[in-house]
Structure 1
Amino acid sequence: MNRDYFRTASPFWTGLIGFGLVLLTMATFVPDKIPSYLGKVGGLGRYMGTEKPELTWYIFLATIAIHAAESIYAYMLCRRFGLSSSATKKWTFQTFLFGVASLSLLRQYKPRGD
């Protein structure tokens, strides 16, 4: 069994999810600072942050809660798979940041007995 098993999530998904998280955070806290060069996506963020701030706040909190739950599940999977402390920390942190893009990779892992 490879106790140090870890794979980084796809750059495409980490970029897309990372962008979405940054945009959501900006829409929640500083919607007026969202750059205009983001076009319609940035416009949606500005609109949500200024016209629907309560809804934006709830979406932000739900996103954090979902990512936290996914990272707890990733931690539990790592313990069940017998992964090392270092690998468990990496999977837990990566899953908190990138959610299902990381968790789907961990779920594909098939531990083998020595």
Structure 2
Amino acid sequence: MAGFRVYSVSLVLFQWVVFWPQSIPYQSLGPLGPFTQYLVDYHHTLLCNGYWLAWLIHVGESLYAIVLCKHKGITSGQAQLLWFLQTFFFGIASLTILIAYKQKRQK
């Protein structure tokens, strides 16, 4: 669960760096502060492209989660929607749970 929190905080920080870099208290970020400021000052375009790429990857993972649900026999539309949303917000961390899922065999 702690991994999800760290992941969520890092995604918020990434968004903050891309869209509002002038409002970041770099000195309060510890060792991450100077590195972040360097990236903002010298590689902001790369940060922007990386941000949009991350969202594109999340959309792709989410769509794959729906395909995987159908392949694994999860036919409930609500369950598929929830897997889509969970994978969209948590990415590969969620998708690995779905990949590991094995349906119980009925006799």
Question: Is this a same-fold pair by TM over 0.5?
Answer: yes
Q: Could you tell me which residue of structure 2 aligns to residue 46 of structure 1?
A: 37
Alignment of 1:1-114 (within 5 A): 11-35=1-25, 36-83=27-74, 84-114=76-106
The one of the two structures with greater contact order (alpha-carbon pairs below 8 A, sep at least 6) is 1
How far, CA to CA, are the matches of 2:13 and 2:37 in structure 1?
9
Give 1 or 2 for the bigger CA radius of gyration. 2
| Matched-pair contact (CA < 8 Å) for 1:23–1:45 | no
Gaps in structure 2 of 5+ consecutive residues: none
RMSD: 1.6
- Relative to the length of structure 1, the TM-score reads 0.80
Shift of 1:29: 0.5
Aligned length in residues: 104
What residue identity is the alignment partner of 2:69? C
Shift of 1:75: 1.1
The list of structure 1 runs, each at least 4 consecutive aligned residues, that deviate by more than 3 angstroms after superposition, is none
Gaps in structure 1 of 5+ consecutive residues: 1-10
